[in-house]
Structure 1
């Protein structure tokens, strides 16, 4: 299982500073949606230039113009892009078309897809040629009393595509993510919000082996 750090920070400078200590312990660097909205695709270019050996995921959360937005991100250096699973199939197919042209990947984010429909939507994503899906509880969902990663994982048991898991993943829950057979564990505040982000990233990497 790979470890992905979600850089939901508010400046590229802060992201680059964080990565000085964190990058050695992660496999995938995610340029978070807030950072892309603030700094645009220059954030993708600058992080890729600083860490060319890492897979770079641009979390665009694209809802329309899939081919165009994916193309722009790939041209900026992204290795994979995030498209919303609630988007029209034509949007997702467009992103897949761009990914194939560049030899890159599409990750479909299931945030907003109702739990009873997730497995069916994953089957549809497989038919469209998507590379990976991300089962994702956003910050607002995580704040709802009773939320936990274990229940989130249950909604995608038997998924037909490689699975990334995001939503409150931390040192205490990453073992559950690994045992569920996920390909990628996505950790945001569990790294960037830790007192020592580098130590947190190292501990998470050690926990998954």
Structure 2
């Protein structure tokens, strides 16, 4: 059964904390999104940790270089996971993994629409990366492409076979989930569909129910 992750990509802490408080009982992983961290810095991570000490927290900083310094900032602020971009050097990824091991944390790499290299992914796994994101990007959505392509599903299967926990994201709603039935998705990320909902708790509950139908226990 995949975990449910909420992506908080608001421009300030109050607009992130309010929907999170409403939906928290349905959420497994809290993502301090890139936009939120750019706006509020590591205070965003500290605030989430203080408000929800029992939840896993991802600092979605998309590390591209200075891996050890940025990763240490995130873990010291209370994150359990940090993210790297797929184009980061192996040296950077290795630095992040070493700091993560020191803190008992985990590392995630986010694939880009145009970037996938299976051999490179195996090297990430060898270095200690635990998670990989397969995404339908905002740019793809903006271009009117709301589909999940066969190559997206193929990547989920291939990466899971390598030993990664595979996360799917990109404007996900309950209607998107059946395409992943029978495939080893480990985490489902939802942002706007929960955060912008009139009732975030109900939106998260509806998504959780849809996940239960697609991946029955």
TM-score by length of 1: 0.93
Higher mean Cα deviation, 150-159 or 11-20? 150-159
1:208 to 200, 207, 211: 211
Q: Is the 8 A contact 2:12 2:40 kept in 1?
A: yes
**SS of equivalent to 1:169:** coil
**SS of equivalent to 2:54:** coil
* Aligned twin of 1:170: 173
* Aligned twin of 2:215: none
Higher mean Cα deviation, 195-204 or 78-87? 195-204
* Aligned twin of 1:124: 123
The answer to whether residue 22 in structure 2 is matched with residue 59 in structure 1 is: no
**Superposition pairs for residues 95-114 of structure 1, below 5 Å?**
95-111=96-112, 113-114=114-115
For residues 80 and 41 of structure 1, the distance between their equivalents in structure 2, rounded to whole angstroms, comes to 13
Residue 150 of structure 1 and its aligned partner are, at CA, apart by: 4.5
For residues 173 and 180 of structure 1, the distance between their equivalents in structure 2, rounded to whole angstroms, comes to 13
2:197 to 169, 194, 198: 194
Q: Is the 8 A contact 1:119 1:156 kept in 2?
A: no
For residues 5 and 181 of structure 2, the distance between their equivalents in structure 1, rounded to whole angstroms, comes to 13
Does the C-alpha gap of structure 1 residues 153 and 193 become closer, same or farther in structure 2, counting only changes over 3 Å?
A: farther
Higher mean Cα deviation, 185-194 or 22-31? 185-194
For residues 148 and 5 of structure 2, the distance between their equivalents in structure 1, rounded to whole angstroms, comes to 16
The answer to whether residue 31 in structure 2 is matched with residue 27 in structure 1 is: no
Residue 206 of structure 1 and its aligned partner are, at CA, apart by: 1.7
Residue 149 of structure 1 and its aligned partner are, at CA, apart by: 2.7
- Structure 1, gaps ≥5 residues long: none
The answer to whether residue 141 in structure 2 is matched with residue 148 in structure 1 is: no
- Structure 2, gaps ≥5 residues long: 213-217
Cα-to-partner distance string for 1:125-146 (whole Å, 9 max, x where unaligned)? 1111101111123211222233
Cα-to-partner distance string for 1:11-52 (whole Å, 9 max, x where unaligned)? 111111111111110100000000000000000001110001
Higher mean Cα deviation, 177-186 or 5-14? 177-186
Cα-to-partner distance string for 1:46-95 (whole Å, 9 max, x where unaligned)? 11100011100000011111111011100000000011111111111000
Question: CA-atom RMSD, angstroms?
Answer: 1.5
For residues 120 and 167 of structure 1, the distance between their equivalents in structure 2, rounded to whole angstroms, comes to 25
